[in-house]
Amino acid sequence: MSNVNQWQFNELPNSRIIITEEVYNRLMLLIGRSAWIASEHSSTLFGKKVGEGNTWVIDEVNCNEDYISRGQNSTNPSDYSISSGPNQTIEIQNKLNSVPGMVVIDIHTHPSGLIDNYRFFSSSDLSMFKEYNQIVSNKGGTFFAGLIGIDRVNGNMSFAIVWYDKSNDKFYRIQNIYLRRKLPNGEYNDYQFEKYGNTQLIMQTWGDQNSILDTHSEEELENFRRR
């Protein structure tokens, strides 16, 4: 099993994905689980395309969390894998059948400490995403895949979302990811997650958004595209 650097993928032009606070809170749970015990965790997110450009709003999470996580606390990276549970799979199918044009995002985590490039997708991840894309597109939906790289030492969690174009057999990376927050006056505002080079972070130093990355970490994140 090899690793694939998704930050070398071409960006999907003018693309952005906006997640709501409900979605963000679910992703924080996945981060906490992977950070506490070396393990992979997953969630399925749902949303819709908005406007004329490449913008998607993701505002729902799966209710059924019967996904299967293998390899917890193993020192062998090959032991780790994750797959949807039967109830989660049924829930996804029901969504696709009941909501035309549904957007589905499969998100999973990779914990640090097992391989150097834990922030990268594996080749088996990408093969699986092609299969998922076929299933979702056959139902008239759009499929994306996301990875959160869990830095279990310093708490700097990377976040990447990719889309597969069957017409040319290529993956494209979403350019920017935003968090939509509700303001005290009832309105909403979108905040872009911090980027270092092309690398987007969903969390810095265990949620302290005012923290400053050390020089080594910042250089590493900025240079992923050149690896």
pLDDT tens, residue by residue, 125-138? 999 999 999 999 99
Task: Look at residue 184 and tell me whether its pLDDT is greater than 80.
Answer: yes
Task: Look at residue 208 and tell me whether its pLDDT is greater than 90.
Answer: no
CB-based contacts of 169, cutoff 8 Å, min separation 6: none
- 129 - beta bridge partners? none
Cβ neighbours around 166 below 10 Å, total: 10
Report residue 207's pLDDT band, with 50, 70 and 90 as the boundaries: low
Q: pTM value?
A: 0.95
pLDDT tens, residue by residue, 30-85? 999 999 999 999 999 999 999 888 999 999 999 999 999 999 989 999 999 999 99
Q: Which has more pLDDT, 206 or 18?
A: 18
Task: Look at residue 211 and tell me whether its pLDDT is greater than 80.
Answer: no
- Rounded average pLDDT over 191-215: 87
Q: What is the pLDDT at residue 214?
A: 84
Task: Look at residue 205 and tell me whether its pLDDT is greater than 90.
Answer: no
φ and ψ of 186, to 5 deg: 95, -10
Task: Look at residue 182 and tell me whether its pLDDT is greater than 90.
Answer: yes
Residue matched to tokens 């834990």: 118
Q: What is the pLDDT at residue 23?
A: 98
Separation CA 7–CA 162 (nearest Å): 10
Q: What is the pLDDT at residue 1?
A: 59
* Per-residue three-class SS string for the chain: CCEECHHHCCEEEEEEEEEEHHHHHHHHHHHHHHHHCCCCCEEEEEEEEECCCEEEEEEEECCCCCCEEECCCCCCHHHCEEECCHHHHHHHHHHHHHCCCCEEEEEEEEECCCCCCCCCEEHHHHHHHHHHHHHHHHCCCEEEEEEEEECCCCCCEEEEEEEEECCCCEEEEEEEEEEEEECCCCCEEEEECCEECCEEEEECCCCCCCCCCCHHHHHHHHCHHHC
Cα–Cα separations (whole angstroms), residue 195 to 47, 56, 77, 90, 159: 23, 19, 28, 36, 10
Q: What is the pLDDT at residue 216?
A: 87
Report residue 26's pLDDT band, with 50, 70 and 90 as the boundaries: very high
- Domains of the chain are 3-226 (3.40.140.10)
Q: What is the pLDDT at residue 227?
A: 80
Q: What is the pLDDT at residue 209?
A: 65
Q: Which has more pLDDT, 210 or 40?
A: 40
11-25, 141-155, 176-190, 199-213: which range is least confident on average? 199-213
Burial of 193-219, coded b for 16+ CB within 10 Å and e otherwise, reads bbebebbbbbbbbeeeeeeebeeebee
Mean pLDDT of the chain: 94
